[in-house]
C-alpha cells in the first residue's frame, strides 16, 4: 500500500482524500507532473518542478510551497515508500470550492505527491517496436489552450487514446489545426530521415517533454544531427525511423503508422543507439538537474 505525501504530511493511500467540491475533480482545474526515479535518483527533478510551477503560474494557481520544499516532498515520498525505482506524480488541484466555475472562490490548493510504479507499454515492444495510428481527432489549437500547461484536464488526449485502443493499438499521433504533426496522446514524437533526428517545435501545439529535451541533448552531445521543425504526416510515414519519448514511455520505437511500415519494420539503428544512451545515463547516475 503506497504512502502518499499530502499537504505536508505522509498518509496512506486510503487516507489521501480530496473533497467532492474540489475543482480539480469538478473541472480538471489543476496541474501535475510525471517523474521517474532511477536507482534512488529523481530524474530531471529540477526541470519537472520548474514546469509544474510554470503550469501553475499560467493557471493563476499559487502552490503554497517553494520549489525546494516540493523537492523535499518528492524525496520524502520516495524514502517513505522504500523504492529505488519509481514513478512520482505531484498533483496540484485548485482545491475546495463550490459548484460555480470561478476559480478564485477556492481558497487553498491541494498538493499531493504519489509515489508508485508505471508500465505504459508492454516490455516486449521495446525490442520489437509498436504500431500507432493517425488520429482523426485533431490536437486542441494552442490559441484555445496553452499546450505548455500540463493540466489535469486531459480530455483531448483521452478521447484520442480511446480512438487508438478501439483501433487495437497503444498510441495515436495527433495533427494540429495547420495539418502538421503535433504529438501523441501521452508522448512526444520524433522521426529520423537521412540520419537527422527531427521533432515538432513547441509552436506545433506540443507539451515540451522533459525526456524529449533530454534526447535532443543526447543527440547534440553524441554528434547526431537534430532539429525542431514542422512536418506533415506524409513526411512522418516516409521517415527511416520513428520513435516516441515520454517519462513513462522513455524511448519507444514505432514500426508501423496506420497500415504503413516504417523502414524495415524493426527498431532502427539511431533509435536503438539513443535508447542505449538513455538507459546508460539513467542507470549509472541519472541527472536530477
Q: Annotated catalytic sites, by residue?
A: 150
Instruction: List, in sequence order, every beta strand (DSSP E) within the chain.
Output: 3-6, 9-12, 30-32, 35-38, 41-42, 86-93, 110-116, 130-134, 171-175, 181-184, 188-193, 196-199, 226-228, 241-246, 250-257, 260-261
Enclosing H/E stretch for 271: helix 269-285
Q: What is the spatial distance between Cα 101 and Cα 119, in angstroms, rounded to a whole number?
A: 35
CA count, 13 A, side-chain hemisphere, 240:
11
Enclosing H/E stretch for 233: helix 233-237
CA-CA-CA-CA dihedral for 252, 254, 258, 263, to nearest 10: 180
Q: Which residues contact 248 (CB under 8 A, 6 or more apart)?
A: 34, 36, 87, 118, 119, 120, 186
Decide if 182 contacts 174 (C-beta within 8 A). Answer: yes
Q: What is the spatial distance between Cα 203 and Cα 148, in angstroms, rounded to a whole number?
A: 10
Amino acid at each position: 500500500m503506497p504512502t502518499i505525501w499530502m499537504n505536508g504530511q505522509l498518509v496512506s493511500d486510503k487516507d489521501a482524500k480530496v473533497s467532492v467540491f474540489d475543482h480539480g475533480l469538478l473541472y480538471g482545474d489543476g496541474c501535475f507532473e510525471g517523474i521517474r526515479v532511477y536507482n534512488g535518483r529523481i530524474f530531471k527533478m529540477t526541470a519537472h518542478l520548474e514546469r509544474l510551477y510554470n503550469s501553475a503560474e499560467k493557471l493563476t494557481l499559487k502552490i503554497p510551497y517553494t520549489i525546494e520544499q516540493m523537492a523535499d516532498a518528492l524525496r520524502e515520498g520516495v524514502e517513505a515508500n522504500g523504492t529505488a525505482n519509481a514513478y512520482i506524480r505531484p498533483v496540484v488541484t485548485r482545491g475546495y470550492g463550490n459548484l460555480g466555475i470561478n476559480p478564485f472562490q477556492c481558497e487553498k490548493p491541494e498538493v499531493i505527491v504519489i509515489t508508485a510504479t508505471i508500465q505504459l507499454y508492454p516490455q516486449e515492444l521495446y525490442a520489437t517496436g509498436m504500431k500507432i495510428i493517425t488520429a482523426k481527432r485533431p490536437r486542441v489549437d494552442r490559441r484555445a489552450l496553452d499546450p505548455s500547461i500540463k493540466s489535469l484536464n486531459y480530455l483531448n488526449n483521452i478521447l484520442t487514446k480511446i480512438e487508438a485502443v478501439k483501433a487495437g493499438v497503444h498510441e495515436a499521433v495527433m495533427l494540429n489545426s495547420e495539418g502538421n504533426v503535433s504529438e501523441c496522446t501521452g508522448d512526444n514524437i520524433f522521426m529520423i530521415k537521412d540520419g537527422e533526428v527531427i521533432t515538432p517545435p513547441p509552436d506545433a501545439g506540443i507539451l515540451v517533454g522533459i525526456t524529449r529535451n533530454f534526447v535532443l541533448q543526447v543527440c547534440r552531445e553524441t554528434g547526431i544531427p537534430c532539429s525542431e521543425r514542422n512536418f506533415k504526416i506524409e513526411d512522418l510515414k516516409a521517415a527511416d525511423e520513428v520513435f516516441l519519448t515520454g517519462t513513462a514511455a522513455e524511448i519507444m520505437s514505432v514500426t508501423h503508422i496506420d497500415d504503413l511500415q516504417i523502414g524495415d519494420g524493426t527498431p532502427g539503428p539511431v533509435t536503438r543507439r539513443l535508447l542505449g544512451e538513455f538507459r546508460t545515463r539513467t542507470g549509472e547516475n541519472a541527472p536530477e538537474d
